[in-house]
């Protein structure tokens, strides 16, 4: 009964989505106020029905209703409750339902927080989101219904993939999807601008916080995925350039470019067409990512289906969405215009260069990800493109980008002077070079690549200091803290996110340069030395978990002869699927991780054991968190909060903003009230 | 600089930067593509010597032998028509089993042994690496052609 209710709610949601995708857009074009006014209530209604549908699916999972095919395939009565809930988005069908549910949640958020926007604009934005929703709900109902029954019902479910039975996996997909789906708002704003032909600084300011929030979710989602791969797959790697990872990284790269391009459009009115194009690209890649991972094209843990009907639907959907929006772009972009002019050396030109580099990087990742698939589908041979390609491409592309990242925030808008910039940054450059040359000696061995990586990181940090110092010198009277408090959150948010990049680079550089790993045969009582630590293997003993049996190793870690902790890696076999799983033990530290995993059992209680020493590895994820915090800080900036409280002075603020925009120093620091 | 020259300079520098980037990408792409060969293709000497490539098929039953250091493993990959002996040092993936699908990346040494530096078995019990499945299919077709 409950699954049928869910199915029915899904059908009702489809009808509302069709209404949402047509009437408000037509109403906005024809000027019919009653049709325009439909947008908000319809969005909220759709949300209610999708919430019911999702609730029904979760209910079936929680109550082990194995007469539902999706539940029977992806759950098991022994599965702990939190994983039963997570299993509702662990499958292809469930994850798409989550996707569309999140889309409706974002739509509701837009409908609630857009009171100060013109009604036609809101109608168009919500209408575009409605059309996307129609595509997804149709896909669910036609090819991947999560409520399909299994008759006769299964006696027991075949279990959730053990790799997914992990707290990280409970929150990773929703975070990632929040990011993917969030770009639909930027996309909808862009399409709305193309439809209306109007795009000004106010437009950029409306769509900017939405884009930033989506970017924050995507950043956290990717970070969680990377962290999960590190501690769950038992390989100790944090990024594999696997197609599945690339699929999430592509929209991130383009989204990062979009966040920056939007800043220029808001502050300077430039890059207009470019911003629209990026918004379309970011969302298209989000769609591509969703489908690439979920359709079974890339057969891996993320792919669950190999059904040609789905493939055809997906291809058609992608072609319609991407094709029609690009057509619309080609037709309407001249009306939107390019925006203000700027000099060859200016903050705009540096941001543009960075945007291009990010896009080229995204293009190269896309090439490496799709080319093997295309070759294979055309029967031209099987090839694979591994990490060496991506690394060979990525480092040279990101090097100038990171150099410019330090330079850009110090350059003036419109026209900057190169000699002046060099003068202002000479000590920052000197300090970063010297530190980068000396630092590797502290780590024990000088390596050119490590030095180079650190140079980039220290350059970013040093320029942040220079920027803040010069900013404070120019911000009037008062003590240090008064001056610090006078700077806007958006100013700090930029530096925080850039600092996150620097932390990330330090982590990547040092772990790549100095990690040690050994796969060794360990008898009971034998020891291994690594990174100043001694690992003593005390044997492995059987333990049982809620739905698995395991061998748990007991490894003592000693430093200078003193025992500092016991690590207990496991080798699990899951009852329902019979699948084996390596569960490493990790000792996390600020400066290093110790990582041990059990390999295979040998004779006489000996095991093959994998032991890693990974310096600074946690800085990678910490850097990502800093970037995400930077994004959060940016959307809490005063000027967005002001908008909500002062709807009635809308026109005044917009006029005020134009004045502010012409004075770069006021634009972030000045008070607008 | 006149505005016209400035514009030209921006365009020229932009295009040349994109050109360099594209050349870089394509060059890296060219040199890092890894091709796949089935055991039959390797037996027919189609695989390159001294260059890394991938092989795939089934791990032959009873072929896994562990050397005395505990971490070096010998096994045989078969597509049911031909076989390749493989040697690998390190921990094998959880789902590496006799009779199951496998893909290995490495180089072929002069004595005909494939020295793998990476062994991939995927994340799912019933999952067969697509390359391995393809190799088996190819061998099956070959056999039927030969018996006819």
What residues of A are in contact with residue B32 (Cβ under 8 Å)?
385-386, 388-389, 392
Q: What is the mean pLDDT of chain A?
A: 86
Asked if residue A379 is part of any domain, the answer here is no
Whether B92 and A600 lie within 8 Å, measured CB to CB: yes
Q: Are residues B75 and B28 in the same domain?
A: no
**Shortest Cα distance, chain A CAs vs residue B146, angstroms:** 23
**Does one domain contain both B53 and B5?**
no
Instruction: Name the one residue in this structure whose structure tokens are 């199951």.
Output: B100
Domain that holds residue B8: 1-33
The pLDDT confidence band at residue A658, using thresholds 50, 70 and 90, is very low
Q: What phi and psi values does residue A549 have, to the nearest 5 degrees?
A: -110, 145
ipTM over 0.95: no
Closest alpha carbon within chain B to A576: B125
Q: Are B29 and B40 found together in one domain?
A: no
Proportion of chain B above pLDDT 90, given as a percent:
12
* Beta carbons of B91 and A597 less than 8 Å apart: yes
In this prediction, residue A673 has a pLDDT band, given cuts at 50, 70 and 90, of very low
pLDDT band at A152 (very low <50, low <70, confident <90, very high): confident
A654 versus A186: the higher-pLDDT residue is: A186
pTM above 0.95, yes or no: no
Same domain, B62 and B112: yes
**Are B34 and A383 inside 8 Å of each other by CB?**
yes
- Any B CB within 8 A of A344 CB: yes
Predicted local confidence at residue A665, as pLDDT: 37
Q: If you average pLDDT over residues A388-392, what whole number do you get?
A: 89
- Decide if pLDDT at A273 tops 70: yes
Any A CB within 8 A of B1 CB: yes
- The per-residue pLDDT for A662 is 39
Of B122, B125, B131, the CB nearest to A382: B131
- Residue A546 in tokens: 């809620």
**A496 and A522, same structural domain?**
no
Q: Is residue A375 part of a domain?
A: no
**Side-chain half-sphere CA neighbours of A232 within 13 A:** 18
Please, which residues 147-176 of chain A have a Cβ atom closer than 8 Å to chain B?
A: 161, 163
What's the pLDDT score for residue B97? 83
Instruction: Give me the DSSP letters along A14-79.
Output: HHHHHHHHHHHHHHHHHT-HHHHHHHHHHHHHHHHHHHHHHHHHHHHHHTT-TTBHHHHHH--TTS
**Is residue B100 within 8 angstroms of chain A, CB to CB?**
no
Among A142, A163, A184, the domain boundary falls at A163
Q: Tell whether the model's pLDDT for residue A159 goes beyond 70.
A: yes
* CB within 8 Å: B90 and A519: yes
Angle at A318 between CA A317 and CA A322, to 5 degrees: 120
pLDDT at B1 over 60: no
pLDDT of residue A6: 94
Same-domain pairing of A604 and A665 = no
DSSP letter for each residue of A450-510: HHHHHHHHHHHHHHHHHHHHHHHHTS-SS-HHHHHHHS-HHHHHHHHHHHHHHHHHHHHHH
Q: Which of B91, B130, B131 sits opposite A599 (nearest CB)?
A: B91
Comparing CB atoms, the residue among B29, B70, B125 nearest residue A389 is B29
Under an 8 A CB cutoff, do B130 and A299 touch?
A: yes
* CA of A520 vs chain B CAs: smallest distance (Å): 6
B127 lies within 8 A of chain A by CB: yes
Both A591 and A656 in a single domain?
no
Residues A474 and A549 in one domain: no
Q: In this complex, is the C-beta atom of A359 within 8 Å of any C-beta atom belonging to chain B?
A: no
Range of the domain at A562: 516-616
How many domains does chain B contain in total? 2
Q: Cα A264 to the chain's mean position, in Å? A: 22
For residues B77 and B7, membership in a common domain is answered with no
Domain check: are A62 and A77 in the same one?
A: yes
Counting one residue from A and one from B, how many pairs have CB atoms under 8 Å apart? Answer: 108
Same domain, A121 and A21: yes
B43 touches chain A (CB under 8 A): no
Does the pLDDT at position A573 exceed 70?
A: yes
Could you tell me the pLDDT band of residue A641, with boundaries at 50, 70 and 90? Answer: low
Give the distance from residue A376's alpha carbon to the nearest chain B alpha carbon, in angstroms. Answer: 10
User: Above 90 in pLDDT, residue B35?
Assistant: no
Q: Which of A121-130, A249-258, A331-340 has the lowest mean pLDDT?
A: A331-340
Residues A535 and A450 both lie in one domain: no
Contact A181, A283 (CB under 8 A): no
Per-residue pLDDT of A511-556, as tens digits, reads: 999 999 888 889 999 999 998 899 999 999 999 988 899 999 999 9
With pLDDT > 70 as the criterion, what percentage of chain A qualifies? 93
pLDDT at A576 over 90: no
Last residue of a domain, one of A137, A163, A189: A163
With an 8 Å Cβ cutoff, are B6 and A343 in contact?
Answer: yes
Q: Does the beta-carbon distance from B71 to A581 stay under 8 Å?
A: no
- What's the gap in Å between the CA of A500 and the closest CA on chain B? 26
Per-residue model confidence as pLDDT tens digits over B83-108: 999 999 888 888 788 888 888 899 99
Decide if B124 touches A, using CB distance below 8 A.
yes
Residues A490 and A635 placed together within one structural domain of the fold: yes
Is residue A551 assigned to a domain? yes
Return the minimum-mean-pLDDT range out of A50-64, A95-109, A185-199, B124-138. Answer: B124-138
- Name which of A37, A4, A248 is nearest A126 in CA terms: A37
Residues found in chain A = 673
Is A604 in CB contact (< 8 Å) with chain B? Answer: no
Q: What is the CATH number of the domain that holds B109?
A: 2.40.50.140
Is there a single domain that holds both residue A605 and residue A653? no
Residue A542 lies in a domain: yes
Cβ under 8 Å to B: A residues 397-456 = 397
Contacts with B124 from chain A: Cβ below 8 Å: 161, 301, 579
Tell me what the mean pLDDT of segment A192-201 comes to. 86
How far does the CA of residue A522 sit from the closest CA of chain B (Å)?
9
The single residue listed with the structure tokens 């993917």 is A180
What's B93's DSSP letter?
A: P
Q: What mean pLDDT is predicted for residues B18-33? A: 84
Name the residue among A360, A368, A519 with its Cβ closest to that of B91.
Answer: A519
Determine the pLDDT at residue A549.
92
Contact between chains at B28 and A343 (C-beta distance less than 8 A):
no
Min Cα–Cα distance to chain B from A229, Å:
12
Which of A393, A517, A574, A601 to mutate against chain B (most B CBs within 10 Å)? A393
Q: Is the Cβ of A353 closer than 8 Å to some Cβ of chain B?
A: yes
A138 touches chain B (CB under 8 A): no
Chain A environment of B24 (Cβ under 8 Å): 393, 396-397
Same domain, B129 and B77: yes
Do residues B1 and B25 share a domain?
Answer: yes
Measured in residues, chain B has a length of: 148
* A389–B33 CB contact, under 8 Å: yes
> What pLDDT does residue A370 have?
87
Task: Tell me whether residue A460 is in a domain.
Answer: yes
A573 and A647 both lie in a single domain: no
- Contact check, Cβ <8 Å, B34/A384: yes
> Are A475 and A464 within one domain?
yes
Are residues A161 and B94, on separate chains, in Cβ contact within 8 Å?
no
How many domains does chain A divide into? 3
Using the Cβ of B71 and the Cβ atoms of chain A, whether some distance falls under 8 Å is answered with yes
Q: Mutate which of B94, B95, B132 to test chain A, going by most A C-beta atoms within 10 A?
A: B94
* pLDDT number for residue A651: 41
Same domain, B24 and B50: no
CA distance B96 to chain A (A): 10
DSSP B63: -
| Confidence class for position A147, pLDDT limits 50, 70, 90 | very high
Q: Are residues A5 and A148 in the same domain?
A: yes
- Which residues, 6+ apart, have CB-to-CB distance to B19 below 8 Å? none
Residue A171 domain-assigned (yes or no): no
Q: Are residues B49 and B7 both part of a single domain?
A: no
Interface mutation vs chain B, best among A166, A270, A365, A384, most B CBs within 10 Å: A384
Candidates A52, A13, A100, A69; CA nearest to A290 is A100
pLDDT tops 50 at residue A334: yes
- Model confidence at A11, pLDDT cuts 50, 70, 90, reads very high
Chain B hits for A349, CB-CB cut-off 8 Å, are 10
Same domain, B7 and B56: no
B10 in A contact zone (CB under 8 Å): yes
> What number is the average pLDDT over the span A254-272?
91
- Give the phi and the psi of residue A632 in degrees, each rounded to 5: -65, -45
Upstream peptide bond of A419 is cis (omega within 30 degrees of 0):
no
Percent of chain A with pLDDT over 90: 49
Q: Does A308 touch chain B if contact means CB atoms closer than 8 Å? A: no
Which of A229-243, A263-277, A437-451 shows the lowest mean pLDDT across its residues?
A: A229-243
- Please give the pLDDT value at position B128: 58
pLDDT-based confidence at residue A646 (cuts at 50, 70, 90): very low
> Which neighbouring-strand residues pair with A574?
A548
Q: Which of A575, A596, A616 is the last residue of a domain?
A: A616
In a domain, A33, yes or no: yes
Q: Give pLDDT tens digits for A448-468.
A: 999 999 999 999 999 999 999
Question: Span A362-384, mean pLDDT?
Answer: 83
**Are residues B26 and B45 located together in one domain of the fold?**
no
Residue A393's contacts (CB-CB under 8 Å, 6 or more residues apart) are: A361, A364, A368, B24, B25, B28, B29
Residues of A in contact with B21 (CB under 8 A): 357, 360, 397
Distance, in Å, from the CA atom of A632 to the CA atom of A648, rounded to the nearest integer, reads 26
Tens of pLDDT, residues A203-233: 888 899 999 999 999 999 999 999 988 888 7
Quick check: A664 contacting B, CB < 8 Å? no
- Average pLDDT for A373-393: 82
Same domain, B20 and B41: no
Whether residue A304 is predicted with pLDDT greater than 80 in this model: the reply is no
Residue A455: inside a domain: yes
């Amino acid at each position: 009964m409950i699954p049928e209710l869910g199915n029915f709610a899904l059908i009702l949601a489809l009808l509302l989505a069709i209404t949402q995708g047509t009437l408000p857009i037509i109403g906005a074009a024809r000027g019919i106020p009653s049709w325009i006014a439909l947008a908000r209530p319809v969005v909220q209604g759709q949300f209610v029905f999708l919430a019911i549908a999702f609730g029904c699916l979760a209910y079936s999972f929680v109550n082990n209703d194995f007469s539902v095919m999706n539940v029977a395939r992806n759950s098991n009565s022994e599965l702990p409750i939190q994983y039963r809930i997570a299993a509702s988005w662990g499958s292809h069908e469930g994850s798409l339902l989550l996707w569309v549910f999140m889309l409706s949640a974002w739509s509701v958020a837009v409908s609630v927080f857009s009171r100060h926007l013109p009604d036609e604009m809101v109608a168009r934005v919500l209408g575009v989101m409605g059309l996307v929703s129609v595509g997804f709900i149709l896909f669910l109902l036609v090819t991947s219904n999560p409520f399909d029954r299994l008759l006769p019902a299964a006696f027991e479910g075949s279990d959730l993939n053990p790799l997914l039975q992990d707290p990280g996996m409970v929150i990773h997909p929703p975070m990632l999807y929040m990011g993917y789906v969030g770009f639909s708002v930027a996309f909808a704003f862009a399409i709305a601008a193309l439809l209306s032909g109007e795009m000004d600084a106010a437009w950029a300011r409306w769509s900017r916080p939405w884009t930033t929030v989506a970017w924050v979710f995507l950043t956290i989602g990717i970070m969680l995925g990377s962290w999960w791969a590190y501690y769950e797959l038992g390989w100790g790697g944090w990024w594999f350039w696997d197609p599945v990872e690339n699929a999430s990284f592509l929209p991130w790269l383009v989204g990062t470019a979009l966040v920056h391009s939007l800043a220029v459009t808001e502050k300077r009115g430039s890059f207009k067409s470019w911003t629209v194009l990026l918004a379309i690209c970011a969302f298209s890649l989000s769609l591509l990512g969703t489908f690439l991972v979920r359709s079974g094209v890339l057969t891996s843990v993320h792919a669950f289906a190999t059904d040609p009907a789905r493939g055809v639907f997906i291809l058609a959907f992608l072609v319609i969405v991407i094709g029609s929006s690009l057509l619309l772009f080609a037709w309407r972009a001249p009306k939107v215009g390019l925006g203000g002019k700027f000099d060859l050396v200016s903050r705009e030109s540096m941001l543009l260069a960075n945007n291009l580099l990010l896009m080229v990087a995204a293009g190269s990742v896309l090439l490496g990800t799709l080319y093997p698939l295309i070759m294979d589908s055309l029967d031209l041979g099987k090839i694979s493109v591994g990490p060496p390609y991506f690394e060979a491409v990525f480092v040279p592309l990101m090097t100038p980008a990171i150099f410019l990242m330090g330079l850009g925030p110090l350059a003036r808008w419109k026209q900057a002077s190169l000699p002046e910039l060099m003068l202002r940054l000479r000590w920052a450059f000197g300090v970063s070079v010297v530190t980068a040359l000396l630092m590797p000696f502290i780590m024990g061995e000088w390596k050119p690549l490590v030095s180079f990586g650190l140079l980039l990181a220290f350059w970013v940090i040093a320029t942040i200091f220079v920027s803040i110092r010069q900013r404070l010198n120019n911000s009037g009277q008062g003590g240090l803290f008064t001056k610090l408090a006078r700077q806007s959150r958006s100013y700090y948010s930029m530096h925080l996110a850039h600092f996150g990049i620097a932390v990330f680079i330090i982590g990547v550089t040092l772990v790549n340069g100095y990690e040690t790993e050994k796969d060794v045969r360990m008898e009971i009582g034998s020891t291994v030395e690594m990174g100043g630590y001694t690992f003593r293997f005390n044997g492995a003993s059987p333990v049982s978990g809620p739905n698995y049996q395991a061998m748990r190793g007991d490894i003592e870690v000693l430093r200078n002869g003193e025992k500092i902790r016991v690590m207990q890696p496991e080798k699990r076999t899951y009852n329902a699927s019979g699948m084996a799983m390596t569960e490493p033990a990790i000792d996390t530290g600020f400066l290093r991780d110790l990582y041990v995993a059990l390999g295979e059992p040998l004779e006489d209680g000996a095991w093959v054991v994998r032991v890693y020493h990974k310096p600074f590895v946690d800085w990678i994820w910490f850097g990502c968190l800093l970037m995400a915090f930077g994004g959060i800080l940016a959307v809490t900036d005063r000027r967005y909060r002001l908008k909500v409280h002062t709807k009635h002075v809308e026109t005044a603020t917009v006029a005020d903003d134009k004045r502010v925009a012409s004075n770069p120093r006021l634009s972030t620091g000045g008070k607008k009230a | 600089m006149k505005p016209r020259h400035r514009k030209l300079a921006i365009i020229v520098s932009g295009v040349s930067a994109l050109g360099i980037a594209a050349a870089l990408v394509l060059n890296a792409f060219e040199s890092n593509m890894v091709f796949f060969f089935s055991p039959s293709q390797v037996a027919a000497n189609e695989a390159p010597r001294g260059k890394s490539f991938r092989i795939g098929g089934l791990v032959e039953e009873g072929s896994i032998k562990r050397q005395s250091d505990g971490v070096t493993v010998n096994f045989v990959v078969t597509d049911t028509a031909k076989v390749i002996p493989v040697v690998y040092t390190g921990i094998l993936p959880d789902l590496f089993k006799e009779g199951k699908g496998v893909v290995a990346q490495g180089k072929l040494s002069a004595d005909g042994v494939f020295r793998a530096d990476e062994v991939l078995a995927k994340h799912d019990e019933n999952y067969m690496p697509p390359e391995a499945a393809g190799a088996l299919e190819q061998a099956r077709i070959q056999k039927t052609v030969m018996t006819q």
